[in-house]
Structures are given as structure tokens and as C-alpha cells.
Amino acid sequence: MTGPDDAFDDAFDVAATAPCASADDTGADDAFDFAAGATGGPRVLWELTARIRLHSDTHIGSADDASRTAADIAPLDRDPVTGAPRLRATTQAGLLRHHLLRRLGEERAPAAAELFGEAAPRSAEDGSGASVPSALDIDDAVAELPAEAGVTVRAGNRVDPGSGAAAPGATWRMETLPAGTAFTLTLRLHVADGRSEGRMLALAALAADGLTGTGTGAGVSIGARTARGYGAAACEGWHARRHDLAAPQGWARFYAVTWAQRRDRAHRAVAERCRSHSGAHGRSLTELLGAHMGTDPALAAAVGADYRRTVADYGTDDRRRDELALTLHLAERPTDALLAPAGGAADDGTHTRRPGLLLVGEAPGLDTLGEVDRAHLRRPAVGGDGAVQWRPTLGDTALFALFKRMSRRLVRDISGESGAAAGEWSHDSPARRLHARWWGGDADSRSAPRASAVRLRQAAELTGGTPQRTTRVTIDALFGDSVDASLLTDDVHAGGSAEVVLDVPDPDDAVRGLLALIVRELRTVPMDAVGGGTGAGHGRVTVSRAVLTRCRPGAEPAPVDLVAAVEDPAGADRAAAEPWLAALRAALVPEAGRRGGADP
């Protein structure tokens, strides 16, 4: 097993005191006679290099609106010289700053300005309003595509939240990077005279912890449509290198090599670490730096005290968030599975689920082109061994639309507004405001579009099941016979299961109650389905596991089993969920809440 001391083996270099054996440093010693020490600029410079890998489709929009093609396909951002897809430095800085600000909270937010700088207020007319430059310098990162997949054009159709059908004309097409794409990010931390090196290093490490991975629910997602599971990423390894620019040797080792040589040196080091220290994957930069300081007395003496103090002061994550982990099955649980058998205990539903068919359509592949009209969606996925495989999915847009549609129906039913037409749903309705807050709202003449707060952590991959080819004909509605030349062949997916996680930032009891009711609907006899062909019985899903975990600052995670809450009225999980249901009813029907009305 890889130990903490091994995490930076051959990848962490205090260049001011340790010799550099890289061939890229040839000629550095010859420059000592010309380097009398730094006379300006930073006193210490840290090179931090990370290798991250995408775990779902990702769209990083172009900075040039003119690059949108005549076919109205949203393009990826590309290097203007080479044309390779890239992750811009400004995008990286924005993601890291956003993560650090949310982690610190409002009271400690000014610390982020020490690292990322701060613009002068427009009203300032004296020197007190001068801008604070950023201490981080970041390079653009070029995408490294996997051999098994390349840039593709994803096409989709917006799903109407009321009817569950595709909205006419509401289509979108955009270039996407596949899962398995890697980026090597390069950050340089400049520490000027008079600033605490340990404090600045700790703030940079806390910001960089957002790259550790979205699997924890606390990492950053990259690009567009992140609420639908796009842009999931995880860090595979770090390389850190310290340059003491106040010493001639440190100054020469940084400035006597070209930018390309420094970049290649860092890229090779982090790639080697990813290959040789796979046990350290997923560890945060704060943990790796802290572990290395425990084995490097010189570095610990120089920066250790301030580093540890800053991590202790700012390391606590102030975000309140919930996560709902679901195991969904592509199957239907019939009504008789909910009833206790005559001879004893109630059936758990494991052997009474009836596998169903799913079709989230996409164009057929080259191997089936001309044989089928539509094929079920398959996307690249990163396996446990790091290999990229093509796997069937539940569909990101379709699955999110399912949850959104169920939420909309539930809040309208509880509030008593289910009888009103969709176009008559009042803007002042508490039900509409609650639904838009968590699941997003569409733009109209009275309001701007609102983003969803609930987020699908990653596109759901289907495991198990089997592909199946179906052939059908169109039946004439008037005469009841088949329509000539209307034969359709589809490649669908039958059966299987998927692990799904919903992240809820800054939750309250009302949204917890709403999620509990969504689980109840999926556990019993679902009225909604996902994908195409739902009128013929396709796309039925049922849940076998649903755990809502509450994460609060300074407290241990508190899980509640919502399946047990649904099925055991006398259990502790039902007791934990009952206040959430009362809060949901009070939010949707304020009068009933004041009167102490019954829970939904």
C-alpha cells in the first residue's frame, strides 16, 4: 500500500536545497554567475501540477461566439493555433475561486482575495482602492483524448416538465469531450516579500482541493450542463516543486530553462507519479503537502507553522449539503409486490421486479447503420482500471427530467393546484417558487430563467441487462391495420441497474421531504417513466436503495434510509423523515402549516 511519505516521492522538490537531476536543467549551473538573486518579483515560487480526468461528457464553451458553425452546433473552446480542445486558464481560475469561496463561507471570504486578487472598487479615488493582483498564475491546459473515443456532437431535445414529451423545436447540439479525456493543469504560486509563504500555500492547496473529484459531492464540475451530470472530473495525481528565488541557485533553476522545458518536466513528473503511486489517487493537495512536511524538517521549519495554522483556521468546509444516493433498476414493481403474502412477511421486491425496456435514442453506430432506425444511448465511461469502455446509460437529460417532472406533480398535488392548467400556474404560488428554486424555472415574460440547485453528480451508467432489438409497425388509427412501409427497428436495452447520486446544496427540510416523496413514488408503482416509448410501457424504473445523507460543518454525516422510511411506519427512519414532510406541507400550504395540518 502506498504510504503518506510515498505520495510525493520523486515528485516533490525543494529546488533551493536539493539538486535537480533533470536533463532539462542542463546549463542551469552555468547561469549561477549571472544570477545574483532576485531583485524584484516573488521571493518564492511554487509550481503545482495536477492531472485530472473527465468521468462524463463535458462541454467547455468557446470564448469566440463567431466560431459557432452554420449548423448551429455549440463548439468546444480550442487553441487558436493548433485547434486542439483546451481548458482556458481563466476557466480554471474561476472554478478554483468559486470552490474556495463556497468552502470558506461569507465570514471568511476575504481570505480568497489574498490568493486570487481583488479589483479596485470603482468609487475609490485614493490609493486605498488599489487592485490586489492574483498570486496564482495559471496556464491553459490542452485536452488529451482517449484512444477509444473522440470529440463527438451530442444532440438532444428539451423535455417538457409537464407532459414528459419532447418540446417541439427545443433541440440542442454541441461538441463534447468524452469521458477519459485528461488535462494536465499547471499553477504557479508567487509569494512576495512580506507575505507568509505557509499561509499562501495553504490557501492555494484548499482551492486546489476542488479538483480532487466530484465523487465526494464537494469538488468542481467543468463546463456546461453540470446539473445534468456533465463535467464530472477527478484528480489522478499532483506534482509540487518549490523555487527559492532569493537564492542564486533557486533563481537559476527556474529562469535558466525555457517555459516549454519547465512544462515538460512537470508533465512528465506528474504522469510518472500517476503510474507509480496509484494508491494516492483521490488524495487532496492539503493532505499530500501536510504528509510531506512531516518528513522534510527544512520545509516544515520554513513554512510548516503558518501552513498548519491556516489549514486549521480555514480547512473546515462551511457548506451545508445533502446527497441522495439511489440504486435504480430498469424494471417495474407490480402492485402485487407491495402486498404481504398470505403466509408471512412482506416481500422485499427483489424477485418480483419485472425487467423493462429503455430507449434514449441516438443515431445508430457504424456497425448497425442501415439495420436499425434508432439505438439506445451509449457513452464512454472510465472503469476501475482506468480503461475507457462504451456503456449504456439511463440518459442524463431524460433522467433529470424524470425527477423534475415528479417534483412538479407532487408540489402541485400537495398545494391543491393540480387542477389548474400548466399555463395558469400563478407566479405567486408557493408551489411554483419552491419547484423553481430546486429544479430550475423557464424564462417567460415575467421572470428570467433560473438554474437548478439540485444536481445530478454524474451520468448514470447501466450495469447488467442486455441489448435487445425490437421491430414494430405503425397501426392505422382509423382502420386498425398496419401502415405499409412503416416498419421501425430499434436497439433497446433490457433490464439492468444504475447508481445515481443527487447533490443538494444549502438544503432545508422542505426539499428533504420532497425527495422522500420522490423515493416513495419510485419505490411503489411509478406513474412516470424515462426515455422514449413510455406509452408502450418502456422506461419504467424502480428504486431498491435510497439513502439521504446530511453533511453539516463540524458534524458527522447523518444518513437516513428513505426506503425504510417508506416501508416501516414505526421505524427510526420514518421518525426522521416526518418533520421533513411537515415542513414541505407548511411551505406549500402556509395556512395548513399554521393550523397544524396533517403531513402529506
Q: Helix or strand or coil: residue 516?
A: helix
CA angle 254, 212, 273 (to 5 degrees): 50
pLDDT score at 508: 94
d(CA 242, CA 123): 39
What confidence category does residue 299 fall into, taking pLDDT thresholds of 50, 70 and 90?
confident
pLDDT score at 518: 96
- Mean pLDDT over 168-176 rounds to 81
Q: Is the pLDDT of residue 600 over 50?
A: no
- Mean pLDDT over 225-251 rounds to 89
From the list 483, 498, 522, 315, the residue with the least C-alpha distance to 403 is 522
Residue-wise DSSP of 201-255: HHHHHHHHGGGSBGGGSSS---SS-GGGTTT-EEEEEEEEEEEETTSHHHHHHHH
What confidence category does residue 553 fall into, taking pLDDT thresholds of 50, 70 and 90?
confident
- Mean pLDDT over 523-544 rounds to 86
From the list 513, 55, 473, 77, the residue with the least C-alpha distance to 282 is 55
Main-chain dihedrals φ then ψ at residue 325, nearest 5 degrees: -100, 120
Q: Is the pLDDT of residue 126 over 80?
A: no
Cα 553 to Cα 180, 314, 318, 504, 557, distances in angstroms: 33, 12, 5, 15, 9
What confidence category does residue 371 fall into, taking pLDDT thresholds of 50, 70 and 90?
confident
Q: Report the percentage of the chain scoring pLDDT > 70.
A: 80
Beta strand 466-475 pairing with 482-494: antiparallel
Residue-wise DSSP of 10-72: TTEEETTTS----GGGTTTGGGGGG----SSS-SEEEEEEEEEEE-S-B--B-S-GGGS-TT-
Which range is least confidently modeled, 303-317, 339-353, 435-449? 339-353
Contact 73, 173 (CB under 8 A): yes
Q: Is the pLDDT of residue 146 over 60?
A: yes
Structure confidence by residue, pLDDT tens digits, 456-479: 998 899 999 999 998 877 777 777
Locus of grid cell 400548466: 422
Q: Helix or strand or coil: residue 496?
A: coil
CA angle 137, 141, 146 (to 5 degrees): 155
Contact 331, 351 (CB under 8 A): no
Cβ-based burial of 320 (10 A; exposed 0-12, middle 13-18, buried ≥19): middle
Beta strand 182-191 pairing with 466-475: unpaired
DSSP bridge partners of 188: 47, 137
pLDDT score at 399: 92
More confident residue, 200 or 69: 200
What confidence category does residue 444 fall into, taking pLDDT thresholds of 50, 70 and 90?
low
Q: Is the pLDDT of residue 52 over 90?
A: yes
What confidence category does residue 7 fall into, taking pLDDT thresholds of 50, 70 and 90?
very low
From the list 145, 46, 563, the residue with the least C-alpha distance to 338 is 563
Main-chain dihedrals φ then ψ at residue 374, nearest 5 degrees: -140, 150
Beta strand 558-561 pairing with 542-551: antiparallel
pLDDT score at 598: 46
pLDDT score at 258: 87
Q: Helix or strand or coil: residue 2?
A: coil
- Mean pLDDT over 222-251 rounds to 89
Contact 367, 402 (CB under 8 A): no
- Mean pLDDT in the chain? 81
How many other C-beta atoms are found inside a 10 Å radius of the C-beta of residue 43?
18
Q: Is the pLDDT of residue 29 over 50?
A: no
Q: What is the separation of C-alpha 453 from the centre of its chain, rounded to a whole number of angstroms?
A: 13
pLDDT score at 481: 73
d(CA 340, CA 411): 30
pLDDT score at 446: 64
What confidence category does residue 176 fall into, taking pLDDT thresholds of 50, 70 and 90?
very high
What confidence category does residue 15 fall into, taking pLDDT thresholds of 50, 70 and 90?
very low
Structure confidence by residue, pLDDT tens digits, 569-582: 999 999 999 999 99
Query: Which DSSP helix (H) or strand (E) runs through 34?
Result: none
pLDDT score at 25: 46
| The three three-digit cell numbers of residue 55, written as one number | 468521468
Locus of grid cell 417567460: 444
d(CA 230, CA 76): 14
Contact 11, 198 (CB under 8 A): no
Locus of grid cell 466560431: 67
Beta strand residue intervals within 372-418, DSSP E: 374-376, 378-382, 388-392
d(CA 546, CA 403): 14
pLDDT score at 177: 95
pLDDT score at 65: 66
Which range is least confidently modeled, 79-93, 200-214, 258-272, 422-436? 422-436
pLDDT score at 21: 35
Cβ-based burial of 295 (10 A; exposed 0-12, middle 13-18, buried ≥19): middle
Half-sphere exposure of 200 (CA within 13 A, CB side): 24
Residue type for position 208: A
More confident residue, 546 or 301: 546
What confidence category does residue 173 fall into, taking pLDDT thresholds of 50, 70 and 90?
confident
How many other C-beta atoms are found inside a 10 Å radius of the C-beta of residue 316?
14
pLDDT score at 470: 87
Which range is least confidently modeled, 199-208, 356-365, 415-424? 415-424
d(CA 236, CA 238): 7
| The three three-digit cell numbers of residue 291, written as one number | 504528509
- Mean pLDDT over 265-280 rounds to 76
Which range is least confidently modeled, 112-116, 393-397, 440-444? 440-444
Residue type for position 138: I
Burial 111-136 (b: 16+ CB within 10 A, else e): bbebbbeeeeeeeeeeeeeeeeebbb
Give 64's contacts (C-beta < 8 A, 6+ positions apart): none
pLDDT score at 373: 85
Q: Is the pLDDT of residue 342 over 70?
A: no
d(CA 408, CA 402): 10
